[in-house]
Amino acid sequence: MSGETATGGGSTETLDRARSLLGRYRVPVGLVLVVVLLRPVISNPLLLGYEAVAATILIWMVFVAAFNLLFGYAGLLSFGHAMFLGFGMYAAAIGVSGRAGAPQLPFPVAAAIGIAVAATVGYLLGRLTVEKGEIYFAFLTLAVAQAVEFTANRNPLNLTGGSNGVTQNVLPGFVESTRGQLVVVFGGLEVDWYWFVSAVFLVSMLALWQIVRSPFGRSLVAIRENGDLARAMGIDTTRYKVQAFTISAAFSALAGSVLMVDRYGASQETLSVITSGDTVLMAVLGGVRYFFGPIAGVFVWQFAEEFLNEFEVLHLGFTSVDLSGVLTHWQFFLGALFVVLVVVAPLEGIWGYLRDWVRDLYVRLKGVAE
């Protein structure tokens, strides 16, 4: 989080002013850097060597950041967030495909319906659960998400396609698929899918960042830090929590609608409680107290998933070890890393350690220079 650094008082030096501006807007700058660097970095032959997942990773970052608005900032751990991703995904897929007699809708309209459904469910569920205590909240969201998954699995009115999901005729009119690559067509203009997703990513993340730095967002932080005190100081904690839940649900559904196009349809797997659990893991792994925590967490997770599944032989120069058998079970090691992280410092995550490490390095370098 930015925020606390710029309180020290102004300076007249131009350099200082530039630095303070950079300090104030380092989140937008960082987000642009993520967009620009992500694709070249992962398509480096030493890393993944292919770039198709770059857009998927950006979408996941939006989703986990939306989740973290609720957990990291408002202090509410939702263990069923996949359902909101699913509302966006299924609404977009059903609307665009017009399956089973549903009216065929343009993608933005279908996505908007998904977002509205998610926000409504978030609001109502929030009214029912936010004041029940954090463990209650975690399990209640989990249970409701499970119920939503079962419902989709039952294929009501033939809309959700049961365990097959919705995969036919799901590409919106403005998206074309050529040789497995998605291209967005606006009039005569062709734009790479990655840049379209980047635009959605930047707009959503900036909106989330603005929420976090707004007076509204600071009220959420106060509630997270000490709900009793917040109430005694005149903050309507219940309403803030319910609205945070609603906003988080809406952004999750937005991510879901874009993910639908990216994945060529809505899959029941994405709606499952396993996805909800992965969301929690990614956020905590990255560091829930930081705006860039979810971004780091998603990157590490998705990268590990792709990279370690591909990884086969470790070349150590003098010998080679075949690790493919062990590394297909990367979830075991990630789980172990997660447990250690939670026991040692549950709120710091990778981003927290990275920050401390960079700060130490900076201090040490400064010491050497002087």
Partner 1 sequence: MSDTADTATETTDDVEPTDAGREADTMPSPDPAVDPTTAALATDGLRRTFGEVTAVDRVSLGVERGELRAIIGPNGAGKTTLFNTIMGTLPPTDGRVFLDGQDVTERDEHERPHLGLARSFQSNELFEEQTVLENVRVVVQTSRRGAFSFDLFRDHRSVGRERALELLDTVGLDAPPSTLAKNLSHGDQRRLGIAMALATEPEVLLLDEPTSGMSPGATTATANLIEEIRDELGLTVVLIEHDMDVVLSISDRISVLNRGSLIATGPPEEIQANDAVQDAYLGGMREEL
Partner 2 sequence: MNTTELTREDLATVSPAWWAAALVAVVLLAVTFAVEPGLFIDQAIGGLVYGMVLVLVTLGLSLILGLMGIVNFAHGAFFMLGAYLSYSVVVTLGLPFWAALILAPLAVGVVGVVLEITVLRYLYGSDPIVSLLATFGLTMMIEEVIRAYWGTAPLEISRPSVLTRGTDLGVTTVPTYRLFLVGVAVLTIVAVYLLISRTDFGLTVRAGVQDGEMTEFVGVNLPVRFTAMFFLGAALAGFAGVLYSAETGMRTTMGETFVILAFVVVVVGGIGSLFGSVVSGILIGVSAYLTPVVLSALAEVTNQPWLALQIRDLVPYLVMILILLYRPRGLFGEEGFLE
List interacting residues with partner 1 (CB under 8 A). 3-4, 6-8, 210-211, 213-219, 221-222, 225-226, 228-237, 239-240, 243
Q: Quick one: which of 6, 133, 323, 359 contacts partner 2 (CB under 8 A)?
A: 133
Is there a contact between 76 and 128 (Cβ–Cβ < 8 Å)?
Answer: no
Q: Applying CB under 8 A, which of residues 129, 219, 237, 270 lies at the interface with partner 2?
A: 129
Residue 339 as a binder of partner 2 (CB under 8 A): the answer is yes
The entry of partner 1, partner 2, none near residue 331 (CB within 5 to 8 angstroms by kind) is: partner 2
Q: What are phi and psi of 292, to 5 degrees?
A: -85, 0
Q: How far is CA 164 from CA 74, 156, 256, 336, in A?
A: 36, 13, 17, 32
- If the CB atoms of residues 231 and 329 are measured against partner 1, the closer one turns out to be 231
CA 280 to chain centre: 10
The piece of 8-16, 97-105, 302-310, 333-341 that touches partner 2 (CB under 8 A) is: 333-341
**Cβ pair 277, 285 in contact under 8 A:** no
- 342 counts as binding partner 2 under rule CB under 8 A: yes
- Residue choice 329, 358, 364, 365 for contact with partner 2 (CB under 8 A): 329
Residue in 92, 94, 66, 91 with CA at minimum distance from that of residue 81: 66
Could you tell me if 260 and 92 are in contact, meaning their C-beta atoms sit under 8 angstroms apart?
Answer: yes
Choose, by CB under 8 A, the member of 38, 152, 280, 327 that binds partner 2: 280
Q: Which of 126-134, 159-167, 218-226, 256-264 is the region at the interface with partner 2 (rule: CB under 8 A)?
A: 126-134
The residue among 143 and 229 lying less far from partner 1, judged by its C-beta, is: 229
Count of residues in the chain: 370
* 334 makes contact with partner 2 (CB under 8 A): yes
Shortest Å distance, C-beta 208 to partner 1 = 11
Q: Which 77-106 residues touch partner 2, going by CB under 8 A? A: 77
| SS3 call for 317 | coil
Judge whether 252 and 114 are in contact, CB under 8 Å: no
Contact 70, 221 (CB under 8 A): no
Angle (deg, nearest 10), helices 107-129 and 134-153:
140
Least distance from partner 2 to the Cβ atom of residue 168, Å:
25
Q: Please answer whether residues 77 and 131 qualify as being in contact, where contact means their C-beta atoms are separated by less than 8 angstroms.
A: no
| Nearest CB to partner 1, comparing residues 25 and 195 | 25
| DSSP 8-state secondary structure symbol assigned to residue 347 | T
Check binding of 332 to partner 2 (CB under 8 A).
yes
Residues of span 241-260 touching partner 2 by CB under 8 A: none
As a whole number of angstroms, the distance between CA 171 and CA 260 comes to: 9
Encode 204-215: b = buried (16+ Cβ within 10 Å), e = exposed. Answer: bbeebbebbbee
Residues 188-217 that bind partner 2 (CB under 8 A): none
Q: Of these partners, partner 1, partner 2, none, which one is at the site of residue 128 (CB under 5 to 8 Å by kind)?
A: partner 2
Q: Which residues bind partner 2 (CB under 8 A)?
A: 77, 128-129, 131-136, 138-140, 142-144, 146-147, 150-151, 153-154, 273-274, 277, 280-281, 284, 329, 331-332, 334-336, 338-339, 342-343, 346
